[in-house]
Amino acid sequence: MVSKNVMRCQEFDDAVFYKIGCYCMHDDCNIVLEIENKNEDIIISMCQTLSFKTENDSKLKSIWNRLKGALKILVKGELEMEGALYMYDKDHIKSFINALEEGITRLERSKDESR
């Protein structure tokens, strides 16, 4: 059962979307989890909003970090960033695992029904 900071948001025949809440409860830290059935493969992807600023950065340092990131995108065409989703609670972790298992089961069931 999906419950602790995990919510099923959308469901289609070939994909299920979940919103995974961070322990800190800030919306910017949330992850959107997609479990998709594509050509007999189960694909799991996660999307998260990432920021160039931290709580300790001054305005000037924040602007500098944004400029450096923009230049890397312009020159290299890519940008490597890191995000965090904190799960301290066993129930939160179990709900995340349950979302993965539930999503796969729903996709398999949908696939069987379409045959």
In a domain, residue 104? The reply is yes
pLDDT score of 5 = 81
Q: What is the pTM of this model?
A: 0.63
pLDDT score of 75 = 93
In a domain, residue 78? The reply is no
Please count the other Cβ atoms lying within 10 Å of the Cβ belonging to residue 20: 21
Burial environment of residue 52 by CB neighbours within 10 A (0 to 12, 13 to 18, 19 or more): middle
Q: How many domains does the chain have?
A: 1
In a domain, residue 26? The reply is yes
In a domain, residue 76? The reply is no
pLDDT score of 98 = 86
| Residues of the domain holding 44 | 6-51+85-114
In a domain, residue 45? The reply is yes
Query: Per residue in 90-105, pLDDT tens?
Result: 888 888 888 888 888 8
pLDDT score of 82 = 65
Query: Per residue in 51-106, pLDDT tens?
Result: 766 667 788 888 888 888 889 889 988 877 666 667 777 888 888 888 888 888 88
The span from the CA of 10 to the CA of 28, in Å, is 20
In a domain, residue 37? The reply is yes
In a domain, residue 75? The reply is no
In a domain, residue 20? The reply is yes
